[in-house]
């Protein structure tokens, strides 16, 4: 399939590369020159605007920071909407507010463009490996048309319901991940203050009920104080804010989510917004005046 791809960041670039590896033709945005040049060297074509991309392809995929960027690419000047025609499909794989996905869908539907919201989970390592989890909202027939394409970047592709459903599932995912990171941070700081090696505690609990994909992926980063971003604190703040906004709209209180959001916000105020979200442990270390860092112990 000929695919347009917009958003060649930490997640988007490896996803685009995996689409090329799967044999798809790609037209990518040249907004990020270095990333576009890298994709071009692998066989992708480039274009300057979302409209120019959409004019050439059957499917447009976006992987962008938040709702305003997706709205601009889809509906703004030189946006996808200006190349609207029956049969064009738009799949937004960004993590945005469910209501924003619904509004963009409705505007494009009026022009004959089908849309799915299909956010991903797994971070940079799984984007590179092509083993992401994808949560998809939208018309089932449209989903069936592109499911094979999504398989090129993921090992799990699940249709969860109508438009906006994908982002609702992603918000649920981000709540679970954030609270797991907070729980692991609390536990490792407790171990250190109690005089027990946090690394040994991880080894002791990871095969029991406390074990999780989050613990396996993030505890080693906490112990090494390696906060090179696979998923930045700033982006998790965005997701939790979208979760709280949605919770207020539907009447589902999220007190634990609100607490973790404030922890992330405190770290952002201290200049850590670019750290991986495993850097949340630094909030607890500051409170306890200690470190779980193996090298510093």
HEC readout, 151-182: CCCEEEEEEEECCCHHHHHHHHHHHHHHHHHH
Q: Which of the following is catalytic: 2, 13, 126, 170? A: 170
Work out the end-to-end distance of the chain between its first and last CA atoms, rounded to an integer number of angstroms: 53
Model pTM score: 0.91
157 - beta bridge partners?
134
Q: How far is CA 253 from the centre of its chain?
A: 23
Q: Helix 165-193 vs helix 213-224: angle between axes, to the nearest 10 degrees?
A: 50
Q: Which CATH architecture has domain 169-296?
A: Orthogonal Bundle (1.10)
Q: What is the mean pLDDT of residues 257-269?
A: 98
Domain ranges of the chain: 2-162, 169-296
DSSP string, 237-284: HHHHHHHHHHHHHHT---HHHHHHHHHHHHHHHTT-TTSBGGGGHHHH
Residues 6+ apart with CB under 8 A from 290: 189, 192, 193
Residues 6+ apart with CB under 8 A from 232: 273, 274, 275, 276, 277
Q: Token pair of 13, please?
A: 């670039």
Look up 238 and say whether it is catalytic: no
Instruction: Give residue-wise pLDDT tens across range 8-59.
Output: 999 999 999 999 999 999 999 988 889 999 999 999 999 999 999 999 999 9
The torsion angles phi and psi of 105, rounded to 5 degrees, stand at: -55, -45
pLDDT of residue 296 exceeding 80, the answer is no
What is the per-residue pLDDT for 32?
Answer: 85
- Same topology for domains 2-162 and 169-296, yes or no? no
* Of residues 31, 32, 28, 68, the one with CA closest to residue 46: 28
Instruction: Give residue-wise pLDDT tens across range 85-144.
Output: 999 999 999 999 999 999 999 999 999 999 999 999 988 999 999 999 999 999 999 999
Rounded distance between C-alpha atoms, residue 80 and residue 117, angstroms: 15
CATH of domain 2-162: 3.40.50.720
């Amino acid at each position: 399939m000929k695919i347009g791809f917009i958003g060649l960041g930490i997640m988007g670039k490896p996803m685009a590369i995996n689409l090329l590896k799967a044999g798809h033709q790609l037209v990518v945005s040249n907004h990020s020159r270095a990333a576009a040049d890298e994709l071009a060297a692998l066989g992708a074509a480039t274009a300057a605007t979302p409209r120019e991309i959409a004019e050439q392809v059957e499917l447009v995929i976006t992987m962008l920071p938040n709702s305003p960027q997706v709205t601009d690419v889809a509906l703004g000047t030189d946006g996808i909407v200006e190349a609207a025609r029956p049969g064009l499909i738009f799949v937004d794989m960004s993590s945005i507010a469910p209501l924003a996905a619904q509004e963009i869908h409705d505007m494009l539907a009026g022009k004959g463009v089908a849309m799915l919201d299909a956010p991903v989970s797994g971070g940079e390592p799984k984007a590179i490996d092509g083993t992401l989890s994808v949560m998809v909202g939208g018309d089932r027939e449209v989903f069936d048309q592109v499911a094979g394409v999504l398989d090129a970047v993921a090992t799990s592709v699940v249709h969860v319901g109508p438009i906006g459903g994908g982002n609702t599932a992603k918000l649920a995912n981000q709540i679970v991940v954030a609270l797991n990171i907070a729980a692991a941070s609390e536990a490792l700081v407790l171990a250190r203050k109690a005089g027990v090696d946090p690394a040994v505690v991880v080894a002791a609990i990871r095969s029991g009920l406390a074990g999780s994909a989050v613990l396996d992926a993030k505890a080693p980063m906490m112990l090494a104080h390696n906060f090179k971003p696979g998923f930045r604190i700033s982006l998790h703040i965005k997701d939790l804010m979208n979760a709280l906004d949605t919770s207020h709209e539907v009447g589902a209180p999220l007190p634990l989510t609100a607490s973790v959001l404030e922890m992330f916000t405190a770290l952002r105020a201290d200049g850590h917004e670019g750290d991986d979200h495993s850097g949340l442990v630094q909030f607890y270390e500051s409170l306890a005046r200690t470190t779980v860092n193996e090298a510093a112990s």
